[in-house]
């Protein structure tokens, strides 16, 4: 993997890590975000998990692009924002090349542009900006929502088993849930008030869940925690815009862009609350915004994404 261990930041975490003695080194570190250096500012990345769309998972492309960008900056700067456009569907059958362009190196900020390339054409264009850590008296943030702690909630796997135990669940939904259990997604999720996706009842376009990387990452590399957060931030994110429209049959969905702003230090292998909401949908598009909160109430990351949706005009009738 591109070595970012030298980019240590001793104060990048809030207190000691949670005890997870059975965890091994996170596969997000050892495989998913692993890049092979080919030349100066040129890298090759492989793939780990492919969603049922059979296109590359956007979070992995964004995360790998940020790994490539971070490898080209000095040790005293850290990413504060990134803005990406998904311009083509990723092909999971071939590796992706990541080409970094060094746009600017200033005294406080530096900017990198990254192209993810497959079959000779870009599939993602990413702009990332890095900043030296600077103290400022100008500080404020929203208040973190009050929610149950992750220890009191069911995991994604436990929820799936709960759904499968419902004798009224339609067979097609059971088949889809069994496929989900076979997926090896390298993150842990605990939804808060999970929406009923199977009864096709429109719901508020808002969801929250606790999330963290599967396995251990360690506190020594803030660059890497940001790259892992980029991967995590895309999971189940754009689906928030679909919650008011569950009565329609979804034909096609794809992310168009993805932006992130990094505010405070955090650990991606510790539980963070992901608060997602969609304020608007129209013109076959939907906009989703999200906030990643540390357990101590500090706002760590803000995210935004727009996606394209195609649905059937004749909504299906639920038989449940």
Question: What does 106-118 look like in DSSP terms, one character per residue?
Answer: -SSEEEEEEEEEE
pLDDT for the residue numbered 162 = 72
pLDDT for the residue numbered 202 = 84
Helix residue ranges, H only, 80-148: none
**With 90 as the cut, is the pLDDT of residue 160 above it?**
no
**With 60 as the cut, is the pLDDT of residue 316 above it?**
no
Q: Tell me the per-residue pLDDT of 33-57, one tens digit each, with 9 for 90 and over.
A: 999 999 999 999 988 777 766 789 9
Cα 106–298–294 angle (5° rounding)? Answer: 105
- Kindly calculate the radius of gyration of the chain based on its CA atoms and give it in whole angstroms: 20
Considering the entire predicted model, what is its pTM?
0.87
Distance CA 143, CA 99 (A): 39
Query: What residues act catalytically?
Result: 234, 255, 305
- Name, of 162-166, 200-204, 215-219, the range with top average pLDDT: 215-219
pLDDT for the residue numbered 81 = 98
Name residues whose C-beta falls within 8 Å of residue 103's C-beta, 6 or more positions apart in sequence: 110, 111, 112, 113, 127
- What percent of the chain is modeled with pLDDT above 70? 82
Mean pLDDT score of the chain:
86
Q: Tell me the per-residue pLDDT of 52-93, one tens digit each, with 9 for 90 and over.
A: 667 899 999 999 999 999 999 998 899 999 999 999 999 999
Mean pLDDT of the 289-318 span: 89
Largest CA distance in the chain: 63
- More confident call, 263 vs 23: 263
The separation between CA 43 and the C-alpha centre of its own chain, rounded to angstroms, equals 21
Domains with residue ranges and CATH for the chain: 27-132+153-311 (2.40.160.210)
pLDDT for the residue numbered 211 = 97
In the chain, helix, strand, coil percent, each to 5?
Answer: 20, 35, 45
Distance CA 225, CA 145 (A): 23
Six-digit token pair at 119? 């079959």
Mean pLDDT of the 232-256 span: 92
């Amino acid at each position: 993997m591109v070595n970012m261990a030298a980019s240590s930041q001793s104060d990048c975490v809030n207190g000691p890590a949670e005890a997870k003695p059975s965890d091994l080194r996170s596969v997000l570190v050892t495989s998913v975000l692993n890049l092979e250096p080919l030349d100066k500012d040129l890298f090759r990345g492989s793939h780990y998990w492919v969603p049922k769309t059979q296109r590359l998972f956007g979070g992995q492309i964004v995360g790998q692009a940020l790994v490539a960008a971070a490898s080209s900056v000095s040790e005293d700067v850290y990413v504060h924002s990134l803005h990406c456009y998904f311009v083509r569907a990723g092909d999971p059958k071939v590796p992706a090349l990541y080409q970094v362009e060094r746009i600017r190196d200033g005294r406080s900020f530096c900017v990198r542009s990254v192209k993810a390339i497959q079959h000779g054409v870009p599939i993602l264009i990413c702009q990332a900006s890095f900043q030296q850590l600077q103290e400022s008296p100008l500080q404020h943030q929203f208040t973190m929502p009050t929610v149950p702690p992750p220890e009191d909630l069911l995991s994604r796997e436990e929820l799936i088993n709960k759904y499968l135990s419902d004798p009224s669940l339609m067979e097609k939904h059971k088949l889809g849930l069994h496929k989900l259990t076979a997926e090896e997604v390298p993150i842990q999720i605990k939804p808060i008030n999970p929406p009923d996706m199977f009864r096709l009842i429109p719901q508020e376009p808002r969801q929250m869940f606790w999330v963290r990387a599967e396995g251990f990452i360690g506190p020594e590399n803030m660059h890497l925690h940001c790259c892992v957060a980029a991967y995590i931030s895309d999971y189940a994110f754009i689906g928030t815009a679909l919650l008011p429209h569950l009565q329609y049959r979804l034909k096609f969905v794809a992310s168009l862009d993805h932006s992130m702003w990094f505010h405070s230090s955090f650990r991606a292998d510790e539980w963070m609350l992901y608060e997602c909401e969609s304020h608007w949908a129209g013109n076959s598009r939907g906009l989703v915004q999200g906030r990643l909160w540390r357990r101590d109430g500090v706002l760590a990351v803000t995210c935004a994404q727009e996606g394209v949706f195609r649905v059937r005009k004749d909504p299906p009738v639920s038989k449940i």
